[in-house]
Amino acid sequence: MSLVDAAKAKLPTQWGEFEIHALEDKDSQKEHVALTMGDLSGDEPVLVRVHSECLTGDALFSMRCDCGPQLEAALQKISEAGRGVLLYLRQEGRGIGLVNKIRAYALQDQGMDTVEANESLGFAADARDFTLAGRTLQALQVSKIKLMTNNPRKVAALEEAGIDVVERVPMKYGKNPHNEKYLSTKHGKLGHLF
């Protein structure tokens, strides 16, 4: 497999101590991250968040989306369970990269919704390769999970990749006046369950 669990170390956070795994994807040359907590072996399903990179929302406090609050809520839930995995996948802008995401934001500033903006730039509404999530979990030897998401495509893609998703845990966090239209488009056009 081209995805290698290349290095790991302790990662203390405000939600407790995780183990950080740096994963090297030899195909795309991208470096992904998995934060794990507790013993992941055994038959009990593992609580998992598959999070796509959003530099603006995760690190720069943007209120255009719900990514930052979802990221924090996921770490909180894993810490409460004492066991789980957060995959941080480098799929910025639903796979179109940072520069194109900001171009898409500029089009949204002129009135387009998030799907129209992607399409007008020549991209699919969602350009992510979700098989990566399955490969990452396989690299961590996790096969039975409770998935924290509102996105049914993530559930389907993981099932297709051979991961047993026994439960979907809703992630409704971070709604605000600036992301209302974004969230309603996710629901109306991208199939998110809110």
Ligand X SMILES: Nc1nc2c(ncn2[C@@H]2O[C@H](COP(=O)(O)OP(=O)(O)OP(=O)(O)O)[C@@H](O)[C@H]2O)c(=O)[nH]1
Annotated binding site: 49-54, 65, 67, 70, 92-94, 114, 149, 154
Neighbouring residues of 135: CB distance < 8 A, sequence distance ≥ 6: 1, 3, 161
Do 47 and 169 contact (CB within 8 A), yes or no? yes
Find, among 124, 123, 117, the residue nearest to 103 by Cα.
Answer: 117
| Binds Zn ion (CB under 5 A): choice among 45, 57, 69, 84 | 57
Tell me the per-residue interface mask from 56 to 95 with ligand X, x by CB under 6 A, - otherwise.
---------x-x--x--------------------xxxx-
Q: How many Å is the maximal CA-CA distance in the chain?
A: 51
Neighbour count for residue 59 (Cβ, 10 Å): 12
Known catalytic membership, residue 128: yes
**Cα–Cα distance measured from residue 113 to residue 171, given in angstroms and rounded to the nearest whole number:** 22
Nearer to ligand X, 36 or 66 (CB): 66
Nearer to ligand X, 17 or 191 (CB): 191
**Cα–Cα distance measured from residue 81 to residue 16, given in angstroms and rounded to the nearest whole number:** 11
- Per the annotation, binding residues for Zn(2+) are 54, 65, 67
Tell me the per-residue interface mask from 18 to 57 with ligand X, x by CB under 6 A, - otherwise.
---------------------------------xxxx---
Position 145: which residue type?
Answer: I
| Binds ligand X (CB under 6 A): choice among 45, 151, 157, 183 | 151
Position 41: which residue type?
Answer: S
Tell me the per-residue interface mask from 101 to 130 with Zn ion, x by CB under 5 A, - otherwise.
------------------------------
> Taking CB under 5 A as the rule, does residue 47 contact Zn ion?
no
DSSP 42: S
- Per the annotation, binding residues for GTP are 49-53, 70, 92-94, 114, 149, 154
Q: Looking at the annotation, which residues are catalytic? A: 126, 128
